[in-house]
Structure 1
Amino acid sequence: MNKHVVNRTSVSALMGASIFDASGALFGRVREFAVDLTTDVHLVKALVIRRASAKTRDLPIVLRIAEMQLDETSRLRLGTDANPIELSADHAYLLLERDLLDQQIIDVHGHKVVRVNDVDLIWSPASETQPELALRITEVEVGMRGALRRLLKGLPAPAVDQLSRRFGPNAIPWEFVDLIDRDPARRVKLKIEQEGLSRIHPSDLADILEELAPAERQALFRSLDEEVAAEALEEVDPRMQQTLIESLDSEQIAGIVEEMDPGAAADLLSELSEEQSDAILEEMNPEERQDVEELLEFPSDSAAGRMTTEYIALDKETTVVAAIAALREFEGDIESVLDIFLLDEEGKIAFVVPLVKLLLAAGDASLKDLANGHIVSCDVDTNGKKVAELFDKYNLRSLPVVDEEKQLVGVVHAEQVIALLRSKR
């Protein structure tokens, strides 16, 4: 074979392909494609072959791609040093046909769930920079082209190729795919790329979770780290929240709840049984538990039931430099901070300063000089409808919530109002 030639193929095209020994005699046929996830997820490390002379009870054998050759007619031959071994029951391979075809996967790049119809492969011949033959995974086919290849498997390759070209490609580059370990009891643990998932917006990740079948949904959610899981959990409806956490124990749920906004955490726990809610609270750190327990005392359809206790409140004489230092030390969700509240000696709101005004202010400036001219707030028992009306009337970014003594106790953000309105549909 010309060393500069690169042949494209696919799982469906190679399935059942003949393998010949060094003398040219039929050795066996391709039955699977083995990927070693511990070494290189982009390579088919070995082919699983059924010997031509195999009996019914004989195990398939594994032959490394590096021990093969691709001749001028694209026929696979065993190298002179090939050492086939039996496929053991405890193998740790990802098998493309068994574990990937027809499975739901996450398209990390497109932020959606798709079903695999075929896998595109490419032969990379031996060269000066690559001493051995390699079979690389390039894309997964998720459209009609891949489905047609599967349907016509076994027919002459040129005919299948000609027919499949009538459909435009609908494929996802392999590096943009996350595989889901859909069943913990399986031998193969499919790889979830945390880095790829963490780049997905929580709302998109919530959509993905809702699209998945139950087993895949649970597998994906269990694979998320606590912070990402908390963000995704905040974006799904209460019924889906309960579905996602039902397979977790109280300690695991507590770890996720601690990463949630206190208001969202209280909403979640309020939908659970008292026994389950108490068990989760018992596992939480004291500080986070206290914040959530306080919010659980309020009706969910009230300002207090929708507020968060994560906000920045400073003394009314605070300077811009001190405010920036407080922002750096803030342990809550910094992206949710839109306003800084300046309090008087009694803990009442004296000024509200939009965060954006800090960007243009001198460091020694007094924060109160940047404040808005008016303050809009609501009581803890203000109902959800009134809260929404205040946001609409005054075009608010956030709404401070005060107690009977007019002291600041929490803040309602626009996204919490939107979630409330959606739940009323």
Structure 2
Amino acid sequence: MDEKRNGPSLALLLGTPVTEPKGSLFGRLKDIAVATGADAGRIAGLVLKTKKGLELVPATEVRSTPSGALELRSTDAVQPLQGDENFIFLKQDLLDQQIIDVHGRKVVRVNDVDLQWFSRDEKQDLRVREVEVGLRGAVRRLLLGVIPKHALDTFSRKFPARVIPWEFVDMIEVDPARRVKLKIEHERLAQLHPSDIADILEDLAPAEREAILTTLDEEVAAEALEEVEPKLQKALVESLDSETAAGIVEEMDPGAAADLLAELPEERSEAILEEMGAEERQEVEELLEFREDSAAGRMTTAYVQVPVQATVADGIEALRGFEGDPESITELYLVDEKEVLIGVVPLARMILAKPETRLEVLTEPRFISCQVHAHQNFVAELFDKYNLRALPVLDDDGRLVGVVQADHVIAFLRDKI
């Protein structure tokens, strides 16, 4: 069973003398290497500056002494640091750098790193406990070298601590080659709400935004991109190569994708469209033909329609086959053989009915719709007047061509403020 005890902070440990078993100076602590990939977070070794250069020794081959120095158990385990290892270095890569606090859903700057000694198999080992992002770590760094380390440790603890447990730390690596090498993935970040990811992206520098966006799953990246304000959306997409941008845009709501591409230079927009799949490209190109301030310019083509003679069981089957965001569906649309809209069925009403029930008998007695060229101000008025959750959009022949959803109207109204 491991026996844990608090260790020093990284700032206080750096520069510590490291002696040989007989007591002679071997080197000084230069950095601490942390593993990535499957062993992410485990301390791979202590980086020592010796007469031979930079060398690496496992933490289990070092013990802390009452004097504050570090002592090697033997020099046999010391190996030259090659420079091509897949390590994160706490001083080089973490101190003074921005990271993502996944638990707090925000971007913070690292002031120090708290470490922890523990006993394992009759040896001491070291692990990263938490990252300091508050005043305590800043004071410690500021006064380092001004007062003795033991006094500085005591003094710094008078200040409030703001820490992030290591398991909630998400690294930001802007170098694509090193990102792949270190196998940095943002799995915990991807589990946040898209709005939280959007807020985090807005707090980052351009290169860091691109680094995060390109390592997220395309579907997650698309959901987050839809939540970002339009100017930043444009800047983010323009920073990506056309193939990467197309993969993300394909996963966006067609209406949102069309709005985004409409803001890009024509040459750039065309390049992204060419990289998209045929079906997704056709949907977006059709929407690009409409004026942005029209109902068609605000609508999405991601909705569920079924034949007018369909039953509740048919409607449920259609919902199961829907490839868009299921949370966006609030109603089903009944159409005839010419795709003319015949009726609207609220989703809640359908779920409560028996499977064999004809959907036609569950339709709203009077449904509200609008024409493709209706101005967005008129669309907003309809949502307000009739307390709508979705509004079907029809062409001149009454055919259903799209749906304006409540969040599309909210986005339009927010832009007007």
TM-score by length of 2: 0.94
Question: Which structure 2 residues correspond to residues 109-128 of structure 1 after superposition, within 5 A?
Answer: 109-127=103-121
2:5 matched residue in structure 1: 6
The structural deviation recorded for 1:34 is 0.8
The structural deviation recorded for 1:7 is 2.9
The structural deviation recorded for 1:39 is 5.1
How has the CA–CA distance of structure 1 residues 348 and 36 changed in structure 2, closer, same or farther, with 3 Å as cutoff? same
RMSD of aligned C-alpha atoms? Answer: 2.0
2:383 matched residue in structure 1: 391
Q: Distance in 2 between matches of 1:229 and 1:265?
A: 13
Check whether the contact 1:180–1:191 (CA below 8 A) recurs between aligned residues: no
Give the residue type in structure 2 aligned to 1:241: Q
How has the CA–CA distance of structure 1 residues 185 and 322 changed in structure 2, closer, same or farther, with 3 Å as cutoff? closer
1:151 matched residue in structure 2: 142
SS at match of 1:29: strand
SS at match of 1:326: helix
2:72 matched residue in structure 1: 78
1:43 matched residue in structure 2: 42
The one of 292, 304, 318 equivalent to 1:312 is 304
Q: Distance in 2 between matches of 1:77 and 1:304?
A: 72
Give the residue type in structure 1 aligned to 2:45: A
The structural deviation recorded for 1:287 is 1.1
Q: Distance in 1 between matches of 2:184 and 2:139?
A: 28
How has the CA–CA distance of structure 1 residues 373 and 6 changed in structure 2, closer, same or farther, with 3 Å as cutoff? same
1:332 matched residue in structure 2: 324
**Cα deviation digits, residues 368-416 of structure 1 (max 9, x gap):** 3332232011111111111111111111110100000111100001111
Check whether the contact 1:180–1:190 (CA below 8 A) recurs between aligned residues: no
Q: Distance in 2 between matches of 1:5 and 1:378?
A: 67
Q: Distance in 2 between matches of 1:208 and 1:328?
A: 33
The structural deviation recorded for 1:163 is 2.2
Give the residue type in structure 1 aligned to 2:33: A
Percent identical pairs in the alignment equals: 54
How has the CA–CA distance of structure 1 residues 281 and 186 changed in structure 2, closer, same or farther, with 3 Å as cutoff? closer
Question: Which structure 2 residues correspond to residues 167-316 of structure 1 after superposition, within 5 A?
Answer: 167-184=159-176, 189=181, 192-316=184-308
The structural deviation recorded for 1:237 is 2.4
Give the residue type in structure 2 aligned to 1:137: V
**Cα deviation digits, residues 34-57 of structure 1 (max 9, x gap):** 112145222222111123xx3xxx
The structural deviation recorded for 1:234 is 1.2
Q: Distance in 1 between matches of 2:55 and 2:75?
A: 16
Does 2:96 match 1:97? Answer: no
Check whether the contact 2:37–2:182 (CA below 8 A) recurs between aligned residues: no
Does 2:81 match 1:87? Answer: yes
SS at match of 2:82: coil
Q: Distance in 1 between matches of 2:67 and 2:120?
A: 16
Q: Distance in 2 between matches of 1:171 and 1:190?
A: 24
Give the residue type in structure 2 aligned to 1:13: L
The structural deviation recorded for 1:79 is 0.8
Q: Distance in 2 between matches of 1:256 and 1:370?
A: 37
Give the residue type in structure 1 aligned to 2:136: R
Check whether the contact 2:20–2:75 (CA below 8 A) recurs between aligned residues: no
Check whether the contact 1:90–1:187 (CA below 8 A) recurs between aligned residues: no
Give the residue type in structure 2 aligned to 1:126: R
Greater Cα offset, 133-142 or 236-245? 236-245
Q: Distance in 2 between matches of 1:63 and 1:188?
A: 25
How has the CA–CA distance of structure 1 residues 333 and 5 changed in structure 2, closer, same or farther, with 3 Å as cutoff? closer
Give the residue type in structure 1 aligned to 2:28: R
1:402 matched residue in structure 2: 394
Q: How many residues align?
A: 415
**Cα deviation digits, residues 14-71 of structure 1 (max 9, x gap):** 11112111012222211111112145222222111123xx3xxx52222221221234
Give the residue type in structure 1 aligned to 2:251: E
Q: Distance in 2 between matches of 1:270 and 1:5?
A: 58
SS at match of 1:8: strand
Check whether the contact 1:179–1:191 (CA below 8 A) recurs between aligned residues: no
